[in-house]
Amino acid sequence: MNQTGGIGHDQWKTRFGFMLAAMGSAVGLGNIWRFSYVAGENGGATFLLIYLFFTLLIGIPLLLTEFSIGKAGKMDAVGSFKKLAPNTKWHLTGLMGVVGGILILSFYTVVSGWSLFYLYRYLTGAYWTEPDGGFGAAFDSWIASPIAPLFWQGLFLVATILIVMQGIKKGIERANNVFMPALAVLMILLAVYGLTLEGAKDGLAFLFTPDWSQLTNPSIYFMAMGQAFFSLSIGICGMLTYSSYLKEKDRLPAATVGIGIMDTVFAVIAGVMIFTAVFSFDVDPSSGPPLVFITLPSIFASMPAGNVVGIVFFILLTMAAFSSAISLLELPVAYFHRTLGFTRKAATLIIGSIVFVLGVAASLGFGIWGGVQLGGNNIMDMMDNLTANIILPLGGLLMVLFVGYYLTKEQAIKNSELETPFLQSAWYLLIRYIIPVIMVVILVGSLFGII
Ligand code: PFF
């Protein structure tokens, strides 16, 4: 039943469709929810600067590396490595990605479920004004309840499953063709609205005026690298899987740069949207993960037309999460379908069920399973730390080593599709020496608690 030929040959209709889907994968909860609280906790502009630097120096070259493996291998995360490096252990990189994808999706659907529920509360008017006891208490008791969050998380997952089941052209490409333009319009609208608020200037200063003394703070580098990886979806072979559906004639380099830039632009616009509001209403920007679910709603409740802003914001957050969740599900599904030979439908249902069960554990970790902790981390924190801080960077490191050292220089450069000799040399130098060294320093440093 191995379908590597026929069924495995689903492809993107256009290169632009691929770009939108890859941008859809990149732009997600990471840009809005994660970026804003990590930047808020790590000094704003200084963090942004280092994050931008890492995106350019490591993120985009690594994205090209990952795309080049998928396009040359023309298979899923595991199959592509098996094809390019038969009889070696390199395919374990892909397997680690598959496991990482399942883990990320498990907690991603929990937060997406919260977002969907908030959208519902805004549509019905329930959160237009501060609930009794405040938004903080409302959020805390909602995430701690045993059943309700599971319903919204399940609903979100079912929608994701239905899209992925339809395949690349009919499901994933079509959905992103609608979501991405809509997302861009809504986000720009909200950012422009944010700029009209009274405290906009302070918000912009927080985001764009670096505090140079912070550059000596090592933990900012670690957080910025993790954020760059998470935000660009690199290191777990999700992007590799997407690029395997490209047609031969569709070139990689310009698409890669376009995707990297768009993801970064989205993060900056999201920052403008959120911090102009945060500073206009005098709230602490470093309020952590609840920023989006507690701080913003209380701001919306007191700002002009806040109810409309709330509706638009949670539509935006849910849509952004959705297009990323689709790519996270496609990664293991492609492996089950193409390498293990399951039908796409069976693969989607099996993985979807595993994700749901793990997600239930992550959700209950905020309530009745709150006692399950490791070093002060609940179940979701453990999944987040294991993936963002270990699996993604390790996967990325293995990929640059694979292309830089296992493949020959000729193969690597041919697969990258870079044309000018200068860019070829610069990229090869980066993936062979500079990126591995920086990554090992940061990874080892964090492992030993230096960073
Ligand atoms: N890039 C997504 C975000 O910023 O929310 C998260 C993500 C999606 C990570 C897909 C990894 C991935 F393969």
CATH number of the structural domain spanning residue 67: 1.10.4160
Please determine, for residue 5, whether its predicted confidence score (pLDDT) is greater than 70. Answer: no
11 Cβ inside 6 Å of ligand 1: no
Asked if the structure places residue 9 within a domain, the reply is no
Asked if the structure places residue 321 within a domain, the reply is yes
The CA-to-CA distance between both ends of the chain, in Å, stands at 49
* pLDDT at residue 450, rounded to an integer: 52
* pLDDT at residue 222, rounded to an integer: 83
Query: pLDDT > 90: what percent of the chain?
Result: 74
Asked if the structure places residue 6 within a domain, the reply is no
Per-chain mean pLDDT for the chain? 92
320 Cβ inside 6 Å of ligand 1: no
Asked if the structure places residue 207 within a domain, the reply is yes
Residue 235 backbone phi and psi in degrees, to 5: 105, -15
Query: pLDDT > 70: what percent of the chain?
Result: 98
Q: Which atom of ligand 1 is nearest to the CA of 35?
A: 4
CA of 263 to the centre of ligand 1 (A): 11
Q: Which of 3-17, 350-364, 385-399 has the lowest mean pLDDT?
A: 3-17
The number of domains in the chain is: 1
Asked if the structure places residue 8 within a domain, the reply is no
- Maximal C-alpha separation, the chain: 66
Contact 82, 75 (CB under 8 A): yes
CA distance 15 to 33: 29
Asked if the structure places residue 372 within a domain, the reply is yes
36 Cβ inside 6 Å of ligand 1: no
- Domain boundaries, position 381: 15-447
Please determine, for residue 183, whether its predicted confidence score (pLDDT) is greater than 60. Answer: yes
Fill in the amino acid letter for 431. Answer: I
238 Cβ inside 6 Å of ligand 1: yes
Residues in the chain, total: 451
pLDDT digits (tens, 9 = 90+) for 315-331: 999 999 999 999 999 99
Asked if the structure places residue 3 within a domain, the reply is no
CA of 262 to the centre of ligand 1 (A): 14
29 Cβ inside 6 Å of ligand 1: yes
30 Cβ inside 6 Å of ligand 1: yes
CA of 9 to the centre of ligand 1 (A): 24
Asked if the structure places residue 114 within a domain, the reply is yes
323 Cβ inside 6 Å of ligand 1: no
- Looking at residues 294-315, what average pLDDT do you find? 91
CA distance 409 to 421: 13
Please determine, for residue 6, whether its predicted confidence score (pLDDT) is greater than 60. Answer: no
pTM here is 0.94
pLDDT digits (tens, 9 = 90+) for 377-396: 889 888 988 888 789 999 99
Query: Which of 29, 102, 328, 384 to mutate to test ligand 1, by most ligand atoms within 8 A of the CB atom?
Result: 328
